[in-house]
Amino acid sequence: MSEMLERLHRLAATWGPAGREHKMAETLEDLIQPYVDEIEIDKFGNLIAIKHGIPGKGRVMLAAHMDTVGAIALNVSSTGLIHIAPVGDLKAHHAIGQRVVWGSGAVGILQHEPVSEAKDVDLKKLWCDIGATSKEEALENVRLGDICVFAGELQQLGDALAGPGLDNRAGCAVLLEVAEHLTDPNVDVAFVFAAQGEIGPRGAGPAAYRLNPDLALVLDVTSAGDVPKGPRVEVKLGGGPALKLKDGGYLAHGPLADLVARVAAEHKVPLQTEIAVGAGDRTDAQVVSIAGQGVPTAVIDIPARYRGTANEMVNLRDLHAAADLVLKLLSSSLELG
């Protein structure tokens, strides 16, 4: 198994919804620690690891959010059913029947009131059944405020991978791959595994404020358009990483986007162009780019099918190409003119 795949399996086995990233941070710290000079978890819960470059040459921030969507416990019925609200963009129709795991380790099943039509499916009608038969029994295993995430292992399907939480374990795996292969960078490279990317995004902003980098690259996943009635975007699974030019909350920094495209072309790294029509998938770039005095920020997205479901799908070739592109960028001149 490749290092990348091994790391992905380990990340997938780690529980880490938005707002509860401490276990993910521990796993990531363990994985990145051999390759960096400094490492810490900041006040917001972001994991920040820095590899030193030549002093005075500047600093690049590489960011990937490390949290996943989930559901938070808000109420427990007298029969022991846990009523929930979404953490991040959880869709009710993706959740029905799924197996989930809570922070306490308790396992449950998400279920929904009977409906006659699909359009009546609603998060408010969803609950989690952990097998308890009374309120007290349920609360012994799950407290109000606890969060659950989709359970499940990664499944390899040829070059593709399917499983829960690949948004954004895929981005995290790319950063780890970059860290492993980055030798003697000119610039300081700050790897930021950001907290609370699925709500807001939030964590990456304070991290960028503190690091004050000269530029930033955000690694995330985006919905590929190559499925029936998929999003209207010219991005395919396996077609290479996608350079995001626009989504609902971010517009690319022109000169930096040009630079990324140029470096990809020079080194023959396949690169797709992502222009979201409508809101699109938001990323940490939205808050990183306006932190402090402003940070020119580019987004390199891993195409994914079935985002937000218990079986998101990415292609390993895209992850390798993304890591390759980031490494090529870090060894290029990053002058934006």
Partner 1 sequence: MLLEKLSNACGISGYEDEVRDILRRELQEHVDEMWIDTMGSLMVRKGTGPISVMLDAHMDEVGFLVGAILDDGYVKLKKVGGLDDRVLPGRQVWLTQKRIPGVIGAKAWHLTSPDERGKVIPFDQMYVDLGCKTRQEVLDLGIEPGEPVYFATTFERYSDKVVKGKAFDDRVGCTIVATILQAFSHPGLTIYGSFSVQEEVGLRGAKVAAYNLNPDLALALEGTGSANGAGVDPFDTITNLGDGPAISLMDAAGFPNLQVWEQLVKLAQESGIRYQHRRLITGGTNSGGIALQRAGIPACTIAVPCRYIHTNASLLNLDDLQGAVSLVDHFLTSLEKGDFRP
Partner 2 sequence: MVDVATHLADLTRASSITGRERAVADLLRRQWASLVDEAKRDRLGNFIGLKRGENSATELRSLPFPGPEQQSRPGARPPGPPKIMAAAHIDSIGGMVTAIEPGGFLRFTTVGGVDRRLLMAQEVEVHGARIIPGLVGSKPPHMTTPEERSKLLPPEQLYIDTGLSEAEVKALVSLGAPVLPRYEFRQLQGERVSSRYMDNRAGVATLAVALAELQHLKHTADFYAVGTVGEEFGGLPGATTSTFEIKPDIGIAVDVTFAKHPGSEEDSFPLGGGPTIGVGPNCTPRLAKLLRQIAADLGIHYELEVMPGPSGTDAWAMQVVRGGVATGIISIPLRYMHTPVETVDLADIRAAGRLLANFVARIDSAFVEGLTCC
* Rounded CA separation 63/214 (Å): 13
Identify the residue among 26, 29, 39, 44 touching partner 1 (CB under 8 A). 44
Smallest gap, in angstroms, from Cβ of residue 107 to partner 1? 21
Residue number, 77 or 273, with CB nearest to partner 1: 77
Identify the residue among 97, 131, 145, 254 touching partner 2 (CB under 8 A). 254
Amino acid residing at 130? I
**Running DSSP on this structure, what letter comes out for residue 205?**
H
Q: Which stretch binds partner 1 (CB under 8 A): 50-58, 169-177, 198-206, 242-250?
A: 198-206
Query: For residue 320, what are its two tokens?
Result: 């390798």
Contact flag: residue 203 with partner 1 (CB under 8 A): yes
Size, binding site for partner 1 by CB under 8 A: 29
User: What character string, x for contact with partner 2 (CB under 8 A) and - otherwise, covers 273-312?
Assistant: x-x-x--------x--xx-xxxxx----------------
Q: What distances in angstroms separate CA 172 from CA 4, 115, 149, 314, one per listed residue?
A: 10, 38, 18, 13
Contact flag: residue 226 with partner 2 (CB under 8 A): no
Contact flag: residue 169 with partner 1 (CB under 8 A): no
Residue number, 289 or 311, with CB nearest to partner 2: 289
Number of alpha helices (DSSP H) and beta strands (DSSP E) in the chain? 9, 17
DSSP letter for each residue of 155-188: EEETTEEEETTHHHHHHHHHHHHHHHH--S-SSE
Identify the residue among 58, 86, 152, 249 touching partner 2 (CB under 8 A). 249
* Rounded CA separation 34/240 (Å): 28
Give CA torsion, residues 138, 139, 144, 147, to 10 deg. Answer: -50
95 contacts: CB under 8 Å, gap ≥ 6: 71, 110, 112, 123, 126
Strands 160-163 and 126-129: unpaired
Among partner 2, partner 1, none, what does residue 75 contact (CB within 5–8 Å per kind)?
partner 1
Among partner 1, partner 2, none, what does residue 275 contact (CB within 5–8 Å per kind)?
partner 2
Identify the residue among 59, 107, 185, 209 touching partner 1 (CB under 8 A). 209
| Contacts (CB under 8 A) with partner 1, residues 78-137 | 83, 85-87
Identify the residue among 16, 19, 53, 80 touching partner 1 (CB under 8 A). 19
Contact flag: residue 23 with partner 1 (CB under 8 A): no
CB distance 174 to 329 below 8 Å: no
Helix (H, G, I), strand (E, B) or coil at 101: strand
Binding site for partner 1 (CB under 8 A): 18-20, 22, 42-46, 72, 74-75, 77, 83, 85-87, 144-145, 196, 199-200, 202-203, 205-207, 209-210
